[in-house]
Structure 1
């Protein structure tokens, strides 16, 4: 069945945790240490390697369903056993839980350009699902360096996936380690990419003045961002 907008391949690449891990590695874009696993033994080995606490979540879910922060091996076994019984085909992602600040973008791609209407910063700590947290625009503590990195990653991901329509990306930002010099840059990691509309689209559309659903729909029907008067990159703050 033909699809308008982003391809089925792009959707699968973003949603299959193991494929997505390889995809980001190929782009040289960092993600929290971890791996996709398909057995309890694999899960225990990865968690031991990267260290607890870890964030565990399955592939192909919406709204943060079944996402959990796990602090030890017994909790991980308790999580993995029913997860493996439900789905042995798609991997469960186990990431090192990074306690940084979280940011996200809603973007529109047309296959050639990526428009980022704005970057939102979460108020709660990383690990609280975006559906249960509050976000503000513009970000209250995002530095120029962090913004530039987020924009760079979002554009490269959107172009590599050949996104045509809406896309949501979530990031966690870690401050420089205490042992590093004061001039060191903070680390920006990609948590996940969703090649679809997010719950934050209406909010971001209103505060930025970019009618995101209208623009994305026209893109999906064949009208480029340039033809609609938009250029690639971050939309000026309103």
Structure 2
């Protein structure tokens, strides 16, 4: 399919300031996407609170806003740009591409969807639908979805308060346990609890730091081998593994801190094909119709049990790594797929 002709302007949300867990890899991705969309003739509008990036250079976007990345601020920008489009007599519409600015952009876009701002101003989200983002980001929904399609996940439960958290820990029945807050970047607020005191401290902190006051508490996979798959899909349901990544460090060391090797070195062909098939099943079940996703697996060194750890329904830190390792411009292709190309 050719590109969509009903689009006039594309709003891209950047990743904001460089912080631990969120650095220049999103600038790399956003810059690729801006160039790809401009060469297709679209008007590109960029919102980024960090002026010290390449993507905020004047040549990359038609209009650049150095403003806070908050739902309120982005809504004001949408209103202003809609007025500008009316003055220009633009025939197409304004769309939002949320998948290139990491967790910051994704959370802001979802907030705009939930408060009705996108519907109010007639702005369509492209690249990933809100339903797909919700399935990939909400820990409980994702776990139930994986079980529904027959894939293995760690024993776990979702808690919104401390009494629920304690009940889940009792169900798991042993320490250590992993605590993962929902909708946070780079494991912020989470951790590994080796005893009751640590559990109380980390669970409370995770619930407080999660924007939706939600944590996933799961059995420990410490010492397991950790793998990642960079997957892309188009609207014709073609799926491809762009890059397979093996973490040199075992589970327990965050993937952002771990040395990684591409491609995977220590899986048999049969194990790799199982992981590949499971990756395709995950991206289809979550409903990411266009663009890239990062899917993480854990494999037990004792018995070979393979579990799905999580999925990022967006261009991620690993996407930049995979682009550099393979020469495949993931963000550029993701942007082209988002505007209708097959």
- Settle same-fold status: TM greater than 0.5: yes
How much does 1:206 deviate?
2.9
Alpha-carbon deviations, 1:91-122, whole Å to 9, x = none? Answer: 21011111210000111112412211121000
Aligned residue in 1 for 2:245: 120
Alpha-carbon deviations, 1:68-94, whole Å to 9, x = none? Answer: 011112211112234444558442101
Could you say what secondary structure the match of 1:203 adopts?
A: helix
Q: Which region of structure 1 is more displaced relative to structure 2, 201-210 or 89-98?
A: 201-210
* 1:106 corresponds to which of 210, 230, 235: 230
Q: Distance in 2 between matches of 1:49 and 1:88?
A: 26
Q: Distance in 1 between matches of 2:211 and 2:257?
A: 29
Aligned residue in 2 for 1:206: 324
Alpha-carbon deviations, 1:171-200, whole Å to 9, x = none? Answer: 1111344xxxxxxxx211111001011112
Could you say what secondary structure the match of 1:32 adopts?
A: coil
Aligned residue in 2 for 1:39: 161
Q: Return closer, same or farther for 1:87/1:200 CA change in 2, 3 Å cut-off.
A: closer
Aligned residue in 1 for 2:115: none
Aligned residue in 1 for 2:7: none
* 1:192 corresponds to which of 306, 310, 328: 310
Aligned residue in 1 for 2:141: 19
Q: Distance in 1 between matches of 2:203 and 2:318?
A: 31
Q: Which has the higher contact order (CA 8 A, sep 6+)?
A: 1
- Does the CA-based 8 Å contact 2:175-2:193 persist in structure 1? yes
Could you say what secondary structure the match of 2:125 adopts?
A: coil
* 2:219 corresponds to which of 75, 93, 96: 96
Aligned residue in 2 for 1:165: 291
Q: Return closer, same or farther for 1:11/1:90 CA change in 2, 3 Å cut-off.
A: farther
Aligned residue in 2 for 1:236: none
Detail structure 1 runs of 4+ shifted over 3 Å in the superposition. 82-90
Q: Return closer, same or farther for 1:147/1:52 CA change in 2, 3 Å cut-off.
A: same
Aligned residue in 1 for 2:263: 138
* 1:81 corresponds to which of 204, 210, 215: 204
Aligned residue in 2 for 1:71: 194
Q: Return closer, same or farther for 1:62/1:149 CA change in 2, 3 Å cut-off.
A: same
How much does 1:140 deviate?
2.3
- Equivalent positions of 1:223-238 (< 5 A) are 223-224=341-342
Larger Rg: 2
Q: How many residues align?
A: 216
Could you say what secondary structure the match of 2:307 adopts?
A: strand
Q: Return closer, same or farther for 1:90/1:25 CA change in 2, 3 Å cut-off.
A: farther
